[in-house]
Amino acid sequence: MPYRSNPVDDNASPMRHAAVATAGMANRQGFVELDADGSAGDAVLAEECALALSYNGIAQAVMMISPHDLEDFVFGFSLSNGLIGAVDEIFDLVLSGEGGHWQAALQISSRAFHALTLQRRHLAGSSGCGLCGVESMALALPQLTPLSRSVLPPLGHLDDLRGHIDQAQQLARASGAMHAALYVDEQGAITLCREDIGRHNALDKLIGALYRQQIDYKRGFVAVTSRCSLELIHKAIRAQLPTLVSLSAPTALSVDWAVRHGLNLIHLPHSGAPRLYTPQPTRDLA
């Protein structure tokens, strides 16, 4: 049965969202260990589904995604890929489907749809690739508006962040095979966590949640558990995230783009002090 979303705020009816968001989170599958004993067991495995997105009736993308927090993903994907300029350009969203097949039908503003037709692309989106289907160098390396300079998070908010992230990742603890994107507020608390089999999907879900819940996200920072490649930098800049903290090292091109666009980029290694790549700190971290 199709599910119609309130485009901006679904706080008035959270159970409608939950019914869609929790569908097929995990699945138990049997296995046999390839050893001398051949012991049998079962494991909780992450679910995966195909989500087809259309804008004003025109098919745009098919993404492989974990089948929860789908609305957050649709909003975040639309914004972080430049398909809309603001969330209020989404007038309507209808989710339908079940199991491994879902559809998201969006109605967007005429301005956004006109811009979309000018840079049309079809994505056969794997869960691990962020630039699948891009048809030109201009789309792979787009012109983005630089961010306003922002202060760095207090150093204390990075203390034991890895441990706090492990605690927040409920799906990863159950099945593994999950990336996460998390929002850390101005008090240093993780207030949002979105997980997905795809690292880009996880960040899109978090961006969508921040905008849909109208959180003042510029007072905190976003952390990602995956490697920090250029596509994540693009998404962070488009969403106007002031600071991105990555548990894995960034690529050289990612650092270059973060420098040019004023994004605070911090790597949190397994051991040793946090590494600030860009920009230069605006105040003492102590």
Instruction: Report domain extents, the chain.
Output: 3-140, 155-278
pTM: 0.85
Give which of 3, 121, 122, 118 is closest to 67, Cα–Cα: 3
Q: Are strands 3-5 and 90-98 parallel, antiparallel or unpaired?
A: antiparallel
Which superfamily does CATH assign the domain made up of 155-278 to? Cytidine Deaminase, domain 2 (3.40.140.10)
Q: Residue 20's pLDDT is what?
A: 42
Is the pLDDT at 127 greater than 80, yes or no? Answer: no
- Amino acid sitting at position 13: S
Q: DSSP H helical segments within 104-160, as ranges?
A: 110-118, 137-140
* Run of H or E including 236: helix 230-238
Question: Please, which pLDDT band fits residue 27 given cuts at 50, 70 and 90?
Answer: confident
Counted residue by residue, the chain has a size of 286
- pLDDT of 173: 86
pLDDT tens digit sequence for 193-245: 999 999 999 999 999 999 999 999 999 999 999 989 999 999 999 999 999 99
Highest mean pLDDT among 12-26, 30-44, 93-107, 133-147: 93-107
User: How is residue 169 written in tokens?
Assistant: 């990742």
Q: Does residue 131 register a pLDDT over 60?
A: no
- pLDDT above 70 coverage of the chain, percent: 81
Q: How many angstroms separate the CA atoms of 17 and 5, rounded?
A: 8
Residues labelled as active-site residues: 129
